[in-house]
Amino acid sequence: MTTQRHYSPIDRLLLQADMAMRTLLPFSGQPYRPSPAIVRPDAQMSDEDTRHVAGLMRINHTGEVCAQALYQGQALTAKLPQVRQAMEHAAEEEIDHLAWCEQRIRQLGSHPSVLNPLFYGLSFGIGAAAGLISDKVSLGFVAATEDQVCKHLNEHLEQLPAEDEKSRAILEQMRIDEEHHAETALEAGGFRFPAPVKFGMSLLAKVMTKSTYRI
């Protein structure tokens, strides 16, 4: 017979610190699934296209850093155990995306954004605040955030050079996973955010994408 361990507030803070380090330090997050890019052929791209794709993948990597922080902040303040466990499980799945994007960025001869610690801190605070308000709002925030992520992924898929099958395979699998996270959050009782709130979230997302494309 197994028993579930109950963590103290100090234990949870230490676990969050460990997860933050694994999110922000290079090559710290080990994916649970192999990258979809592995089975796709390498492509010869111009220097301009390579820099552009690296910028897009840097944006997506920072988005996954934000997703990790958001889920971890929500898990820290979630009221119901099942909601906390759902947030922690979603964060584990996002580790795959984080690692895949970082691997692709390195393959393209570039680097993740130096702004990641800043966006991690902001996202963690937003997630923790949403969890403090209510689990329904917290789950609704997940759904609204994933909707924004899917829009960005669709835009990036349109911008990728046709020959870059590796990046395309990664983004297509990410889109499938993100859509599933959004649906799961709403099915669990998440609040459907009104259009003005989603518009505000999209403006914040644009700040992130503009700033991390190059740095």
Q: Which residues make up each annotated binding site for Fe cation? A: 64, 94, 97, 146, 178, 181
User: How many CB atoms neighbour CB 48 within 10 A?
Assistant: 9
Which residues have C-beta within 8 Å of that of residue 157, sequence separation ≥ 6?
Answer: 168, 171, 172, 175
What token pair was written down for 133? 């308000």
Q: Are 112 and 96 in contact (CB under 8 A)?
A: no
114, with CB counted inside 10 A (0-12, 13-18, 19+), is exposed
Nearest C-alpha neighbor of 146 from the set 183, 117, 96: 183
The SS3 call for residue 118 is: helix
- Per DSSP, 53 falls in state H
Please state the residue numbers annotated as binding site.
64, 94, 97, 146, 178, 181
What token pair was written down for 84? 């906390």
